[in-house]
Amino acid sequence: MGLLESVMKHAQETRVPLDDLLVFHQLARSLTSSFDLDSILRTIIDHMESFIEADMWTLLMLEESSQELYYAIAAGGEEASLHDLRVKVGEGVAGWVAQNGETLIVPETEKDNRLEDVPAPNPRKVRSVIAMPLRGRKGVIGVIEILNPRADQLTDYTIAFLHILADHAAIAIENARDVSRIQQLTIADDATKLYNVRHLYEVLGQELDRGARYGIPVSLAFLDLDRFKLVNDVHGHLVGSELLARTGARLKELARPDDMCFRYGGDEFVVLMPETDAETAATEARRMHRDLMATQFEMKNGLVLTVSASVGLACYPRDGDSLHSIIGAADARMYTVKTGGRGQVCAD
């Protein structure tokens, strides 16, 4: 008899507890009312926690590029201690579930070596576990682990009910990811995958409003690649497009974690530096500019190219208090560099 059939049989033989139906109903409503992934993950854990008693509940998400699971959210334990932990597919309880796409139940009466790889809800030891896959359209996207559940709750009915909750959770997670991808397409530049100029205006406007409210500076570096037309003329537009994409990716690598990189248009780029004053911004812009010009880009055809850039810097509140005044000041300083020999940074 399958798990879903167990629930149906249980429902026919005895009435499904109203509390359980409410958990399911509330979860379904909560998951369909938001497309925010963090909110959805918290909702899943909260409802799992209310349905089954245990020492700890964790939800791991699969990172496709590395084929590793990371702890996205937890309840009942030290969530912060799990933040940097990774579980390879195939290793431990969660890794086995991700690899096989099947639920794994280890009761207290059994010994399983895979339990040794499960982070314990300190100071308790992991004695038993329920681990179930979150199955998406193309395979497993995550794993739910319930550590040290009450022994009397390890019934076919409980497991079947958890599977139904997990199925709804997987659908909600995939929907949130789909919405995020669509939103990303509207704010990203096709060629470089950096943010586009429309998103620059939106974010810069928000940062200026925040700066005016709290007295926080914000700086902006405007980069124009020098004589880039020669790349297209000599090597063709395919190489030119590839070099633009690689330049954008390199800028993103060189920028600080809180900085944002945009393609302004053509061969022009912008690096937005929130909460950064003019002096710090000048130091950072010169560092990025130096490292960018020292980068050797190896093209797909084997050609190795470098780029030169002219950079203008502007800062709020020093150079204005509006979107157009900040961009205009940075653009004007960039042209000062262009007319003065190129390949430099103008900060004032």
List the domains of the chain with CATH numbers: 3-185 (3.30.450.40), 197-346 (3.30.70.270)
Q: Which residue has the tokens 């430099």?
A: 344
> Residue 236: which region, alpha, beta or left (left: phi > 0; alpha: psi -120 to 50)?
left
Q: What is the pLDDT of residue 125?
A: 81
Residues contacting residue 50 through CB under 8 Å, at least 6 positions apart: 23
Helix-strand-coil split of the chain, %, nearest 5: 50, 20, 30
Q: Are 103 and 163 in contact (CB under 8 A)?
A: yes
pLDDT by residue for the chain (348 residues), tens digit each?
444 454 445 444 445 566 666 666 666 666 666 667 777 778 777 777 777 888 888 888 888 888 899 888 888 766 666 777 888 999 889 999 999 999 998 887 677 777 777 776 655 688 889 999 999 888 898 999 988 888 777 778 888 888 888 888 888 888 877 776 666 666 677 778 888 888 899 899 999 999 999 999 999 999 999 999 999 899 999 999 999 999 999 999 999 999 999 999 889 999 999 999 999 999 999 999 999 999 999 999 999 999 999 999 999 999 999 999 999 999 999 999 999 989 999 998
Is residue 132 classed as helix, strand or coil in its secondary structure? strand
Q: What is the pLDDT of residue 65?
A: 80
Q: What is the pLDDT of residue 7?
A: 46
Is residue 226 classed as helix, strand or coil in its secondary structure? coil
Q: What is the pLDDT of residue 185?
A: 60
Tell me the one-letter amino acid at 4. L
Sign of the alpha-carbon torsion through 119, 121, 124, 127: negative
Other beta carbons less than 10 A from residue 30's beta carbon: 18
Distance, CA of 328 to CA of 270 (rounded, Å): 12
Q: What is the pLDDT of residue 101?
A: 92
Q: What is the pLDDT of residue 72?
A: 84
Distance, CA of 105 to CA of 115 (rounded, Å): 11
Distance, CA of 337 to CA of 328 (rounded, Å): 14
